[in-house]
């Protein structure tokens, strides 16, 4: 019988002051082994000082088919950007 | 290459012309394709097979070098070789994860390797007979892998490209530690130099075969190039490898075992003698000198590890149940 070992997503913080960033995934029976495996697989050369592991099944992702509805409206709301507003040069840097 | 120009690929696909054109437009615009994006079935199948072959190659590739870890001539060499072999294990894992994003499970891929259905690079079916082979493998085999993997960092499939960026960062140490081993031998006693030359003699041609069949005989190359899974043809990569490696051999005072090898001013590269494609196909089809041992070793590792996997899962289940009971 083939048993499947759960999949985990691995996030690493390269150094203090930076956010944890997704680096890949791995299989492990539980969170303790997932952390140990993440250390061996993803931090062999000082890639970080902190690891998060999250069960892949716990992640809810947005649907790429709805990417247009979800994210395109931001492109035509140019008034959300500072360059949309005309301020005379005389005012100085703002 | 590690997927050897994709042996046994099948990138036929049956989507509508409109769908394929839409997909091709994204590819042509150098957009990366991510796992949940729509993609032609042939694209998915090609990647599953190619990334799988690549992952298996990394894992099986640990065996020929693992063979020498306990016999490394110094602590420095042993530490380096151990670290290199551990890296190869890591490469296999990054790649398996990338393939899994396409909907194939790790267990399925493992089963395909153990049953002989999935291929891995023919280079790992040659034996490592002397310590010099640890040098030559790092220099030539990792060198050839780098030639192939650098363009794969720009592969159109996001997870494969990202895995390759990590891999490429680590490979350069592999090649340098290998070259240093060969250099030490080449500058050593006559017996050491002879050992280095013997090793080069055995590994040169199999290394050239790593790039896969000539372009004219590589049936799946065109579609893979159009989908930007591949950026250079087998022959282009092989040529780059030869041009980079010949001066490195000259520096060592070693002779490349090809009497027809000669600089071609016009093309600005080396011409080489004919490659023994009968040998290539024999080894690819599983008749390499070490093919049986490699699969036997992987099967033993898988079977002997079964109780560990089962125990770890049982333990995780027990902890989960306890936690729920305590809540
Ligand atoms: Fe590797
Ligand atoms: Fe390597």
pLDDT score at A76 = 79
Is A40 within 8 Å of B94 when comparing Cβ atoms?
Answer: no
CB contact under 8 A, B100 and A30: no
Report the C-alpha dihedral over residues B22, B28, B34, B36, rounded to 10 degrees: 10
Spatial contact of B137 and B14, defined as CB atoms under 8 Å apart: no
Decide if pLDDT at B14 tops 50. yes
Indicate the pTM of the whole model.
Answer: 0.91
Show the tokens assigned to B218.
């590589």
Confidence of residue B2 (pLDDT cuts 50, 70, 90): low
Exposure b/e, B66-79, CB count within 10 A at least 16 = b: bbbbeebeeeebee
Is the dihedral angle over the CA atoms B124, B127, B130, B136 positive or is it negative? Answer: negative
pLDDT at B219 over 90: no
Structure tokens belonging to residue A29: 């029976």
Cβ-based contacts under 8 A for chains A and B: 54
Chain B nearest-CA residue for A7? B97
Q: How far apart are CA B113 and CA B248, in angstroms?
A: 35
Return the CATH superfamily for domain A7-61. Answer: Phenylacetic acid degradation B (3.10.20.520)
CA distance B107 to chain A (A): 7
pLDDT band at B9; cut points 50, 70, 90: low
C-alpha–C-alpha distance, residues B33 and B47, integer Å: 12
Structure tokens at A51: 């690891």
Are A21 and A13 spatial neighbours (Cβ–Cβ below 8 Å)? yes
Is residue A2's pLDDT more than 70? no
B167 Cβ contact partners less than 8 Å away, ≥ 6 residues apart: B91, B94, B95, B149
Mean pLDDT of A80-90: 91
Out of A25, A29, A61, name the one closest to residue B312 (CB): A29
Give mean pLDDT, residues B219-233: 88
Tell the residue number behind the tokens 């994003």, with chain if given.
Answer: B101
Report the separation in Å between the CA atom of A56 and the middle of ligand 2, taken as the mean of its atom positions: 28
- Average pLDDT (B289-310) is 95
Query: Percent of chain B having pLDDT more than 90?
Result: 87
Map residue A4 onto helix, strand or coil: coil
Can you tell me the ipTM of this complex?
A: 0.84
- Mean pLDDT within B129-148: 97
CA distance A81 to A84: 6
Which chain B residue is nearest to residue A8, measuring alpha carbons?
B97
| Whether the predicted pLDDT of B229 surpasses 70 | yes
- The strand pairing partners of B270, in sequence order, are B263
pLDDT tens digit string along B195-204? 999 999 999 9
* CA pair distance B171, B149, nearest whole angstrom: 9
Taking 60 as the threshold, does the pLDDT of residue B172 lie above it? yes
B21 token code pair: 């054109």
| Contacts for B62 with CB less than 8 Å, ≥ 6 apart | B85, B88, B89, B92
Residues of A in contact with B36 (CB under 8 A): 61, 63-64
Which residue in the block uniquely carries the two structure tokens 């495996």?
Answer: A37
Q: Of B177, B212, B208, B206, give the one whose Cα is nearest residue B54.
A: B212
Question: Can you say whether residue A32 is alpha, beta or left, with left for phi > 0 and alpha for psi between -120 and 50 degrees?
Answer: alpha
pLDDT given for residue A1 in this prediction = 42
The whole-number pLDDT of residue B10 equals 58
Q: What is the pLDDT of residue A74?
A: 67
Determine the 3-state secondary structure of A26 from DSSP: strand
């Amino acid at each position: 019988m083939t048993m499947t070992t759960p999949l985990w997503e691995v996030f690493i913080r390269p150094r203090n002051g930076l956010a944890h960033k997704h680096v890949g995934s791995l299989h492990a029976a539980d969170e303790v082994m997932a952390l140990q495996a993440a250390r061996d697989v993803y931090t062999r050369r000082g890639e970080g000082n902190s690891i998060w592991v999250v069960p892949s099944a716990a992640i809810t992702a947005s649907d790429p088919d709805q990417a247009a509805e979800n994210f395109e409206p931001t492109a035509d709301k140019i008034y959300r950007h500072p360059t949309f507003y005309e301020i005379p040069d005389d005012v100085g840097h703002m | 290459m590690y997927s050897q120009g994709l042996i046994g690929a099948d990138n036929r696909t049956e989507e509508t012309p409109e769908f394929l054109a839409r997909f091709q437009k994204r590819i042509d615009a150098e957009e990366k394709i991510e796992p949940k994006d729509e993609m032609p079935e042939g694209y998915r199948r090609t990647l599953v097979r190619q990334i799988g072959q690549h992952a298996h190659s990394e894992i099986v590739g640990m065996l020929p070098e693992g063979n020498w870890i306990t016999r490394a001539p110094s602590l420095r060499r042993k530490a380096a070789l151990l670290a290199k072999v551990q890296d190869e294990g890591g490469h296999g894992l990054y790649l398996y994860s990338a393939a899994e994003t396409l909907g194939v499970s790790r267990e399925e891929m493992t089963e395909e390797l153990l049953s002989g259905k999935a291929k891995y690079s023919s280079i790992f079916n040659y034996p490592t007979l002397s310590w010099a082979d640890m040098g030559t493998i790092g220099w030539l085999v990792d060198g050839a892998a780098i030639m192939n993997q650098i363009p794969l960092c720009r592969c159109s499939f996001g997870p494969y490209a990202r895995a390759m960026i990590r891999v490429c960062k680590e490979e350069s140490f592999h090649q340098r530690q290998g070259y240093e081993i060969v250099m030490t031998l080449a500058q050593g006693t006559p017996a050491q130099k002879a050992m280095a030359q013997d090793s080069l003699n055995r590994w040169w041609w199999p290394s050239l075969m790593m790039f896969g069949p000539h372009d004219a005989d590589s049936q799946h190359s065109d579609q893979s190039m159009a989908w930007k899974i591949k950026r250079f043809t087998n022959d282009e990569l092989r040529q780059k490898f030869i041009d980079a490696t010949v001066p490195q051999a000259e520096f060592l005072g070693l002779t490349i075992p090809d009497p027809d090898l000669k600089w071609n001013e016009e093309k600005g590269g080396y011409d080489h003698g004919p490659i023994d494609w009968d040998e290539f196909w024999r080894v690819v089809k599983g008749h390499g000198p070490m093919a049986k041992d490699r699969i036997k070793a992987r099967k033993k590792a898988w079977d002997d590890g079964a109780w560990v996997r089962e125990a770890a899962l049982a333990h995780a289940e027990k902890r989960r149940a306890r936690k729920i009971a305590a809540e």
